[in-house]
């Protein structure tokens, strides 16, 4: 991965360790030739830099889907809340300006397309087959289930579905993404890579 893009990704606000980001980049380079890529849950653009760099390398594009009002775990009162992301005009989270700054700084605006809206709403009108799908939106039961059910059918055979924050041990993290990951393994996906909490599953 180009050093400047790696530096930009690592400096962006977000929760992805560098080794998992590098794995995203490598998976994007591998599967991006099989169709456009989509990311569900963009926050401030950290993971979009890794995937956007891969999209450029693979000659494709990355669609990033996020309402940018923040998932449950980054709202006020939660451990991951960042008060600098609150728009004082409305008293609500707004990560979109930070996302746009990150992507512009990385010079990836030609290959990263921001889709601003609720994942389930966008999925209901989506018809483009995907070579890669990265699910990293809300981590409680309902959001992760909707993300999987709404988007996984669009992954082409031979494409890849990637989950973040998969923790088999409940002591390490929430279990909703893990349960959906297990469901995907039962519904036509096979695991091809594990890096930290990142799981990559190829569609059979």
3-state secondary structure string, the chain?
CCHHHHHHHHHCCCCCCHHHHHHHHHHHHHHHHHCCEEEECCCCCHHHHHHHHHHHHHCCCEEEEECCCCCHHHCCCCCCCCHHHEECCCCEECCHHHHHHHHHHCCCCCCEEEEECCHHHHHCCCCCCEEEEEECCCCCHHHHHHHHHHHHHHEEEEEEEEECCCCCCCCCCCCHHHHHHHHHHHCCEEEEEEECCEEEEEEC
Catalytic one of 68, 139, 154, 164 = 139
Q: Does residue 139 carry a catalytic annotation?
A: yes
Give the residue numbers marked as catalytic: 139
């Amino acid at each position: 991965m180009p050093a400047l893009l790696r530096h930009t990704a690592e400096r962006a606000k977000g929760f992805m360790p560098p080794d998992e980001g590098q794995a995203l980049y490598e998976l994007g380079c591998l599967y991006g030739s099989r169709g456009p890529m989509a990311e569900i849950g963009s926050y401030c653009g950290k993971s979009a830099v890794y995937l956007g760099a891969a999209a450029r390398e693979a000659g494709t594009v990355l669609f990033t889907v996020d309402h940018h009002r923040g998932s449950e775990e980054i709202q006020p009162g939660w451990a991951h809340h960042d008060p600098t992301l609150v728009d004082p005009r409305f008293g609500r989270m707004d990560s979109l300006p930070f996302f746009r700054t990150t992507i512009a700084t990385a010079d990836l605006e030609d290959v990263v397309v921001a889709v601003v809206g609720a994942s389930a709403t966008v999925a209901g009108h989506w018809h483009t087959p995907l070579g890669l799908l990265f699910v990293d939106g809300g981590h409680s039961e309902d959001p992760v289930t909707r993300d999987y059910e709404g988007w996984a059918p669009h992954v082409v055979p031979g494409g890849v579905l990637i989950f973040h924050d998969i923790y088999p041990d409940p002591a390490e993290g929430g279990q909703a993404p893990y349960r959906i990951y297990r469901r995907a393994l039962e519904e036509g996906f096979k695991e091809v890579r594990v890096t930290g909490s990142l799981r990559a599953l190829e569609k059979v």
